Amino acid sequence: MDAHRYIDLTTDFGFKRIFGSEANKPFLKAFLNELFQGRLQIADLQYGRNEHVGDTVEMGTVIFDLLCSTEAGEHFLIEVQRSTHLNLKRRMLYYGSKLIADSAPRGQRRSWDYAISAVYVVVLLDGFPIPGGGSGADYLQEICLCNRRTGEVFYEEMAYLYVELVKFVKQGADLQSDLDRWLYVLKNMSKLDGLPVHLRQPIFEQLFEIAAYTQLNKEERHMYDVSLKRKWDAAVVRKYQEQEQAKTREALKAAEAALKAAEAAEEALVTGLKEAMDKGLIEGLEKGLEKGLEQGLEQGLEHGLEQGAHRKAIAIATTMKKSGISAEDIAIYTGLSLADIEALSTSK
């Protein structure tokens, strides 16, 4: 495995070597003081046990990356996350809540009177943004309990600080504060060949000396190499997940577009059929009416002519009957039947 000049501080081994030992406590204290930007001033830290047993066997044991506290009782839980988790927010909320719950005494709750210590959960996200945190450029997200309507902080002594290293892109002269410098070191130390000019401060000079790969013994190098490989594996898995999620989003977009196109086609078909039916009905009514009128006029005229000729024949036959002409001759002349002619003789 190719070795860099300095270890990667976002690996499990590198982070705990630099920030998790009593000898290197000044590094963690300096980083936290900058992270809270003056709201807290940490004079000293005590490292706590990072293994917290659950209340029941089923709940299991929670193992934190790094846990420390101040003389005032403030608790700081620092987690480095290298893989995305669907329940990352809930998990961090559970960690912070467990610290509060575990601080309660087993007995004498009345005298304790809920004297809860402050709890701060710091989450370093290596390689990905906070899930559901939006697409803004802010790389430091501080979450606390607040009034939803007014935005006023409801409870000061419980907070979650998410550091999205993937959004931190400052370089060289852009590093204006010590917080910028710490985040730059966390993200880029393993890529550097030496101490940059913009980091020439005693604490960073000491940090670079301790973080040199050559400072590790054989066993530590093996532990670091394993830790680095795990980070690389996590990055590969994360990349694959991102690609699959992108494919899923594209497939959903294509399916949504196809559904909209199908709905539009169905609507156009229904509209076309309705228009065709309406047009066909109107044309059918028009043609039927025209044909009906034509046939009616023709039949009416024919019937009227027949009636007129019949009445004329009756009138002639009546006159001829009165003149004494025989019924046979009248029938021949008028075309009436003998019965019609006989009927004339009986109804004057």
Q: What is the pLDDT of residues 154-164, one digit of tens each?
A: 998 999 999 99
C-alpha 77/C-alpha 61 separation (Å) is 16
pLDDT value, residue 246 = 82
Query: Three-state SS across 13-64?
Result: HHHHHHHCCHHHHHHHHHHHHHHCCCCCCCCCCEECCCEEECCCCCCCEEEC
pLDDT value, residue 237 = 86
pLDDT value, residue 24 = 92
Q: Is the distance from CB of 179 to CB of 193 less than 8 angstroms?
A: no
Confidence check: pLDDT of 135 > 90: no
Q: How confident is the model at residue 2 (pLDDT cuts 50, 70, 90)?
A: low
Confidence check: pLDDT of 240 > 90: no
- What single-letter DSSP state applies at residue 10? T
pLDDT value, residue 125 = 93
pLDDT value, residue 145 = 94
pLDDT value, residue 218 = 95
Query: Which of residues 128 and 310 earns the better pLDDT score?
Result: 128
Q: How confident is the model at residue 173 (pLDDT cuts 50, 70, 90)?
A: confident
pLDDT value, residue 59 = 43
pLDDT value, residue 309 = 74
C-alpha 27/C-alpha 210 separation (Å) is 11
Q: How confident is the model at residue 58 (pLDDT cuts 50, 70, 90)?
A: very low
Query: Which of residues 332 and 93 earns the better pLDDT score?
Result: 93
Which of 305, 310, 307, 344 is closest to 327 using CA atoms? 344
Q: How confident is the model at residue 348 (pLDDT cuts 50, 70, 90)?
A: very low
pLDDT value, residue 293 = 62
Which of 61, 27, 62 is closest to 45 using CA atoms? 27
pLDDT value, residue 316 = 81
Q: Is the distance from CB of 164 to CB of 10 less than 8 angstroms?
A: no
Confidence check: pLDDT of 215 > 90: yes
Q: Which contiguous run of DSSP H or E holds residue 198?
A: none
pLDDT value, residue 210 = 95
| Residues near 223 by beta carbon (within 8 Å), at least 6 away in sequence | 13
Out of 105-119, 211-225, 241-255, 280-294, the most confident range is 211-225
C-alpha 185/C-alpha 101 separation (Å) is 35
Query: Which of residues 120 and 312 earns the better pLDDT score?
Result: 120
Confidence check: pLDDT of 326 > 90: no
pLDDT value, residue 56 = 43
Tell me what percent of the residues of the chain surpass a pLDDT of 70. 89
pLDDT value, residue 45 = 86
- What single-letter DSSP state applies at residue 336? -
- What single-letter DSSP state applies at residue 256? H
Instruction: State the average pLDDT for the chain.
Output: 84
pLDDT value, residue 93 = 93
pLDDT value, residue 281 = 66
Confidence check: pLDDT of 60 > 70: no
pLDDT value, residue 257 = 84
pLDDT digits (tens, 9 = 90+) for 83-128: 887 789 999 999 999 988 888 887 777 788 888 889 999 999 998 8
Confidence check: pLDDT of 165 > 80: yes
| Residues near 12 by beta carbon (within 8 Å), at least 6 away in sequence | 65, 80, 227, 230, 231
- The percent of the chain in helix, strand and coil, each rounded to the nearest 5, is 55, 15, 30
Q: Of 40-44, 101-105, 248-252, 284-288, where does mean pLDDT reach its minimum? A: 284-288
pLDDT digits (tens, 9 = 90+) for 290-308: 776 677 667 765 666 677 7
